Structure 1
Amino acid sequence: MTNIYQFTVLNNKQESVELTQFSDKVLLVVNTASKCGFTPQYQGLQTLHDTFQAKGFEVLAFPCNQFKQQESGSNEEIQQFCDLQFNIKFPLFNKIDVNGDNAEPLFSFLKQQAPGILGSKSIKWNFTKFLINRQGEVIKRYAPTTKPEAITADIEKLLV
């Protein structure tokens, strides 16, 4: 596999979504959680979405409960939280695992394409971010501590 367009994932309503529908867009794929110290990054992700959506940019959020059970709610509860707290307009997908035997295949691919520090293939925490170009190729991986606004220049380069 050479790009993310070969994957089909479930949205938060359990409907299949072929990632080909995002072809020719710059994407930021993020594993998220509602009860994490990094949860306020939802606001920064929404700001990126608002700023660049008209130019062909999308944030794709995948809730994950693998890190200290910081995303214990149902898909519906997660959506309600995001709507009430951050008024997000980007898509939320099905709650997934990002590591281990049950890892979402998309995230296995992302980790393979953009390993972490010292070549690590695992995701260390919530709000790890992957920047994808218009061809569906993984360009860069960002640590959970990287605030969304710090990615602005990298997104702008891919949107030209």
Structure 2
Amino acid sequence: MDNIYRYSVQLIDGETFPLKLLTGRTVLFVNIASKCSFSSQLATLEKLYQKYRSKGFEIIAFPCNQFGKNEPLEGEMLREYYRSQAKVSFPLCQKVLVNGPDAHPLFNYLKAHTRGIAQNRAIKWNFTKFLVNSEGQLVSRYAPRTKPESLHCAIEGLLENENRSVQFAKL
């Protein structure tokens, strides 16, 4: 079965995080940028994370400077901005490229399994969101303009399916 679990990511503190540790969790991957006009979505993403985290939901964010050079921060300044100013508590990764020959392999996988604007596979801007189910399979791709609060139903549906699967497994 093709899924995200074969990949690892580098967290902002340099730690390698194998995505197989997310087995059984619904995950939202998003490329972010501190100077992006969509950066106000960070607060709503944090609200989603706080609401659903205990139910099996995770957000993994990837700072990206590929669009309009909207992520100029590096290293400790990057971590400080997202933790102290943006006040996000979900896992942050090191800066990545999401398009081109040096794109992170996870984003190559996500793009290969869905299409975005105008049926194009390339990511067009920051705050593109990818929703993955508890089996590590891509379920949906959302455009940067898609507000995180509009994802409640999709997230709840996946979490309910996971809970039903766990209950059936116990029978």
- C-alpha distance in structure 2 between counterparts of 1:118 and 1:6, whole Å: 29
- C-alpha distance in structure 2 between counterparts of 1:124 and 1:25, whole Å: 27
1:1-160 alignment, distance < 5 Å: 2-160=2-160
Q: Which residue of the partner structure matches residue 165 of structure 2? A: none
- C-alpha distance in structure 1 between counterparts of 2:23 and 2:78, whole Å: 26
Percent of pairs with identical residues: 44
Which whole-Å deviations, capped at 9, do the CAs of 1:19-69 have from their partners, x for residues lacking one?
Answer: 011110000000000000000100010000000001000110000000011
- Asked if structure 2 preserves the Cα contact closer than 8 Å seen for 1:26 and 1:57, the reply is yes
CA RMSD of aligned residues (A): 1.0
Could you tell me which amino acid in structure 2 is paired with residue 58 of structure 1? Answer: E
User: Stretches of 4+ moved more than 3 A in 1?
Assistant: none
How many residues are paired up?
160
Which whole-Å deviations, capped at 9, do the CAs of 1:83-133 have from their partners, x for residues lacking one?
Answer: 222321100001000000100000000011111133211000000000000
Q: Structure 2 length as normaliser, TM-score?
A: 0.91
Mean CA deviation greater in 12-21 or 44-53: 12-21
- C-alpha distance in structure 2 between counterparts of 1:102 and 1:25, whole Å: 28
SS in 1 for 2:79: helix
- C-alpha distance in structure 1 between counterparts of 2:64 and 2:107, whole Å: 11
